[in-house]
Amino acid sequence: MRVSVVVPCYNEESVIEETNAQLNSVLAGHFEDYEIVYVNDGSKDRTRDLLLSFKKDFPKVKSVHFSRNFGHQPAVSAGIKHASGDYIVIIDADLQDPPALIPDMVKKAQDENANVVYAVRKSRMGESWFKKMTAKYYYRLINSMSETQLPLDTGDFRLIDRKVANVFNNIEERQKYIRGIITWIGFKQVPIEYHREERFAGETHYPLSKMIQFAMRGLLYFSKKPLTIATNLGIALVILSLVFLVLQFVKWIFFPETFVIGWISIFGAIIFFGGIQLLSIGVLGAYIGNIFDEIKNRPEYIIDVVE
């Protein structure tokens, strides 16, 4: 049995040596055959040099280097593509997800004959109240709108077996939402709980803007309900406007002394319905944008070198 660990990296010079030390220690202590696949996502610091230096002392380390920064999800995709293990574990380089949990994940997969073991966060240390709250309700929102029910309180930290990896590698989408795709693939998937630690060193590479972009990708790629909501909202507002016109007509007939002709109601209606139209066009435009990205058929990432 061979175990591969995929580690996407972007500007991780402050933590990558400790990450590598912990991963090698855990894996060497539990598995005879293993590999660590680092994917350097166009880092601008010393991450690349450090990864290349690992080859001298750690022969089971492999590094894949992108030509530029393509993003976390393409980095994970590349890591899965270059991993040769029977089991593949995806883990970030910042040590918030504990390498020590990997043997338990492999054991759980074997004991329960599972194809996927996804890690569920019981607690999240060192994160703001805002981030915890938005993460909690984001998954519940996407599940209320998605045809594919995603596990709550999870990230990309998970184990997949070779069967799932082969299916994943044959999926040709460019803008992947990996945790959603793996859930969509199916087979037997089981949870394992853990406590998420603070980042070991450095700063997060997922500011609010990237979090929103990532959340929108998950929502738009796994649900057509925003289009349905826009349509239903439009129908409801048309009906509401017709009822309003009927009531005004009745008022004009039976209570003419109370009927006031003014521009405020007209102006308000124009703004209201104009906003709804822009909202609907925006939702439709987001879907069209995703289609545009896919039909360009560009590669998901470009590899500079594999060491």
Q: What is the pLDDT along the chain (307 residues), one digit of tens a residue?
A: 899 999 999 998 888 999 999 999 999 999 989 999 999 998 998 999 999 988 888 889 999 999 898 888 889 999 999 999 999 999 998 888 899 999 999 999 999 999 999 888 887 665 556 666 666 666 666 666 666 667 777 778 899 999 999 999 988 777 778 888 888 888 899 999 888 776 555 555 555 566 666 666 666 666 666 666 666 676 676 677 667 767 767 777 777 666 666 554 675 566 667 667 766 776 776 677 667 666 656 566 667 667 6
**Distance between CA 135 and CA 24 in Å, rounded?**
31
Q: Are residues 253 and 161 in the same domain?
A: no
Show the tokens assigned to 280: 């609907």
Q: Are residues 83 and 196 in the same domain?
A: yes
Q: Are residues 243 and 215 in the same domain?
A: no
Q: Are residues 146 and 214 in the same domain?
A: yes
Long-range contacts of the stretch 268-276 (C-beta < 8 A, 24+): 269/241, 272/237, 273/237, 273/241, 276/233, 276/234, 276/237
Residue-level pLDDT at 186: 86
Strand partners, 124: 196
Residue-level pLDDT at 180: 81
Range of the domain at 176: 3-221+299-306
Query: What total number of domains does the chain contain?
Result: 2
Q: Are residues 13 and 34 in the same domain?
A: yes
Q: What is the CATH number of the domain that holds 193?
A: 3.90.550.10
Q: Are residues 145 and 241 in the same domain?
A: no
Show the tokens assigned to 154: 């999870």
